[in-house]
Homo-oligomer: A and B are copies of this chain.
Amino acid sequence: MGKNSSADTKEQILNAAERLFASLGFAGTSLRAVIREADVNLAAIHYYFGSKEELFVAVVRRVAAPIVGRQLQRLAILEESDNLPSVAEILEAFIAPPLEVVLERPPLGPIHAQFIGRCRAEPYPVQKLAEPEFARSQQRFLYILTKVLPNQSPTELRWKLDLVVAMLVRILNQMEQLEMLNEKSCVEEIENIVERLVIFITVGISA
């Protein structure tokens, strides 16, 4: 049992920072609270990350990367087909990945969920720092929606996709207080939520 490697130290800082940013927000989280929870030295944060804002961006990247990756992967599969995908298929490709990532890996999953909600809801400078990490997939999905629903203007579709994101974030945030991911099969639960959400939204999008 030697001392912590630098990889451990970095990860401990990221874990503690994500949990505190998620529950208390960016402005409400002090670096001193982070080092207390991560059991590291205050200077270590500045050594590894440089500043509070850069630490936050590092946390955002760690959370967003697997979600955006899966979304684009599923979208690519849909685009490989010769037929245009349905609205429901597109929505499922957009909605399922964040729910999967959050539900598949407790105990960090619920924290990821709460943290994502903060990224979308918090004031300057949080949105400025977080939005670029999620923007790629959102732009690609908006593009395919304009192809599938040419009768609706891009402005209208952007408006609706924005509502989808708002609902998705809300679902993610209230999942920790839902009694799921306890004993039941995660896969089953995810499919259930995704299905209900897709039904809820598909008609509204297409209307």
- Seen from chain A, the residues whose Cβ lies within 8 Å of a Cβ on chain B are 23-25, 27-28, 117-118, 120-124, 159-160, 162-163, 166-167, 169-171, 174, 199-201, 203-204, 207
- Within 8 Å CB of A159, what residues of B? 174
Q: A117-B121, A122-B121 are in contact. Are A160 and B25 (CB under 8 A)?
A: no
What would be 27 A-B contacts, judged by CB atoms less than 8 Å apart?
A23-B124, A24-B27, A25-B25, A25-B122, A27-B27, A27-B28, A28-B123, A117-B121, A118-B121, A120-B121, A121-B122, A122-B122, A159-B174, A160-B200, A162-B170, A163-B167, A163-B171, A163-B200, A166-B169, A166-B170, A167-B167, A199-B204, A199-B207, A200-B204, A201-B204, A203-B204, A204-B204
Chain B residues with CB under 8 A of A122:
25, 121-122
A160 contact set on B, CB distance < 8 A: 200
List 3 tightest A-B contacts by C-beta distance, closest first. A121-B121, A200-B204, A27-B27
Complex CA distance for A122 and B166, rounded to whole angstroms: 15
- A126's closest neighbor in chain B, by CB? B25
Alpha-carbon separation in the docked complex, A199 to B156 (Å) = 14
How often does this chain occur in the complex, in copies? 2
A162 to B167, CA, bound (A): 9
A166 to B120, CA, bound (A): 12
How many angstroms between the C-alpha atoms of A203 and B204 in the bound complex? 7
Q: Which of B124, B170, B199 contacts A24 (CB 8 A)?
A: B124
**B23 engages A123 (CB within 8 Å):** yes
A168's closest neighbor in chain B, by CB?
Answer: B166
Bound CA span A166–B167, Å: 6
What CA separation (Å) do A25 and B27 show in the bound complex?
9
The docked-state distance in angstroms from the alpha carbon of A160 to that of B122 is 23
Complex contacts, A166 vs chain B, CB 8 Å: 166-167, 169-170
Q: How far is the CB of A204 from chain B (nearest CB, A)?
A: 4
The closest CB in chain B to the CB of A201 belongs to B204
Query: In the complex, what distance in Å separates the CA atom of A23 from the CA atom of B128?
Result: 13
